[in-house]
Amino acid sequence: MEKQDKQSRKWISFRVKPGEYRIIHDLFQESTCNKFSEYARLTLMQKPVVIRYRNQSADEILSSLLKIKNELSAIGNNLNQSVRKLHGINTPPEIMSWLMLQEATRHHFLRQVEEIKHALIKISEQWLPGSPAPKP
């Protein structure tokens, strides 16, 4: 008897206009349902449907952190090339020019580190309300 109940599913099918289908399908895409039939079943039975949402401020923070990460990677590559160049330098004037170039790179690197600190403080304030913000 139990086996028969599992197999005795009924089909429901109906037609909708293209605009209505787009609306229904967009709502399905925003839900956490894996299948359209699951979404339709929950909706028709007036059961709750869990909807995904994106936190735009977190997306913006992550995008800025990604840019900073790429910049830090470029700075690291430049530093590696510069150290290789230092190993080939023999005269004091060349060493002095190398040191001046490194000072500019160091300042740029420290600015990037400060940007990362500020971004992390923003994230911690947003995601950990009530906890003390990290010291810069």
* Cα 63-69-71 angle, rounded to 5 deg: 110
> Does residue 24 or residue 129 have the better pLDDT?
24
Res. 51 pLDDT band, cuts 50 70 90: confident
- pLDDT for 54-97, tens place per residue? 677 777 777 777 887 888 888 788 878 888 888 888 888 888 88
Please give the backbone phi and psi of residue 31, each rounded to the nearest 5 degrees, phi first. Answer: -85, 170
Res. 4 pLDDT band, cuts 50 70 90: low
Both tokens assigned to 21 = 């289908």
Q: What share of the chain is helix, strand, coil (3-state, %, to 5)?
A: 70, 0, 30
- Beta carbons within 10 angstroms of residue 17's beta carbon: 8
Mean pLDDT of the chain: 81
